[in-house]
């Protein structure tokens, strides 16, 4: 059996990669196949997310162990075979390759090829240029990235600036004992 994944980017309209891989390969093998197909270095923190049909994140598969709580399910790329979390065609995944700005590839299991075998992986379609591997926040703003920095970014958009003095403190003179911030002391 072979899994054929189609990979696209919302940053580059002509970018497409197709990768065929053994279903028993690990997410780390798939991670390496993606990096090789796009020419990225292997020095960034990355994650896969198993998504529902609306691209909502459900399960995260991390490059390194991030959670040592035995009560919480966690998946690490090197320890998790693809077929443990992916079984059906049209399964959607996100591959976050730029953690600081949450930039990612959109991936779909486009076909399960039965009756054939593959050792490792191979890139079977390579079109368009991959987006730059990392960007800082200023670059994201210039290229019109997906950072959502509108009035909702910091929370409640209904606050009134007149309620704050020039330093951003409550001008009504509320004190810490009235439910405001109080520093924790040992």
Contact criterion met (CB below 8 Å) for 22 and 2: yes
Within the chain, strands assigned E span 2-8, 16-21, 47-51, 57-62, 75-76, 92-98, 103-113, 121-127
What pLDDT does residue 99 have?
85
Which residue shows structure tokens 């990392």?
Answer: 134
Confidence of residue 182 (pLDDT cuts 50, 70, 90): very low
Phi, psi of 36 (to 5 degrees): -65, -40
Confidence of residue 74 (pLDDT cuts 50, 70, 90): confident
Q: Domains in the chain, start-ordered, CATH in brackets?
A: 2-131 (3.10.290.30)
Q: Tell me the whole-structure pTM to 2 decimals.
A: 0.72
What pLDDT does residue 4 have?
98
pLDDT digits (tens, 9 = 90+) for 139-168: 666 655 444 444 444 444 454 555 555 555
The first and second tokens of residue 184, run together, are 């924790």
Confidence of residue 55 (pLDDT cuts 50, 70, 90): very high
| DSSP per-residue letters across 62-90 | ESS-----TTS--EEGGG-BHHHH--STT
C-alpha pair distances (Å), 112 with each of 3, 21, 86, 125: 5, 10, 11, 16
Query: What percentage of the chain has pLDDT greater than the value 90?
Result: 59
Q: Which residues contact 34 (CB under 8 A, 6 or more apart)?
A: 7, 17, 19, 40, 95, 97, 105
Helix, strand and coil content of the chain, in percent to the nearest 5, comes to 15, 30, 55
Q: Tell me the C-alpha distance between 6 and 88, whole Å.
A: 14
What pLDDT does residue 185 have?
45
88 has a pLDDT exceeding 80: yes
pLDDT digits (tens, 9 = 90+) for 93-146: 999 999 888 899 999 999 999 999 999 999 999 999 999 888 876 766 665 544
What pLDDT does residue 135 have?
80
């Amino acid at each position: 059996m072979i899994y054929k994944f189609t990979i696209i980017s919302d940053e580059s309209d002509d970018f497409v990669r197709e990768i065929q891989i053994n279903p028993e390969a690990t997410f780390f093998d798939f991670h390496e196949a993606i990096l090789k197909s796009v020419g990225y270095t292997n020095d960034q923190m990355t994650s896969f997310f198993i998504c529902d049909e609306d691209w909502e994140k459900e399960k995260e598969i991390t490059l390194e162990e991030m959670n040592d709580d035995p009560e919480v399910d966690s998946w690490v790329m090197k320890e998790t075979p693809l077929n443990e979390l992916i079984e059906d065609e049209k399964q959607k995944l996100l591959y976050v390759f730029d953690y600081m700005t949450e930039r990612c590839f959109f991936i779909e299991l486009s076909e399960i090829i039965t009756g054939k075998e593959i050792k490792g992986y191979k890139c079977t379609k390579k079109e368009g240029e991959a987006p730059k591997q990392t960007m800082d926040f200023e670059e994201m703003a210039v290229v019109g990235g997906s950072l959502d920095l509108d009035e909702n970014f910091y929370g409640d958009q209904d606050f009134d600036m007149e309620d704050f003095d020039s330093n951003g403190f409550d001008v009504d003179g509320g004190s810490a004992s009235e439910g405001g911030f109080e520093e924790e002391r040992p």
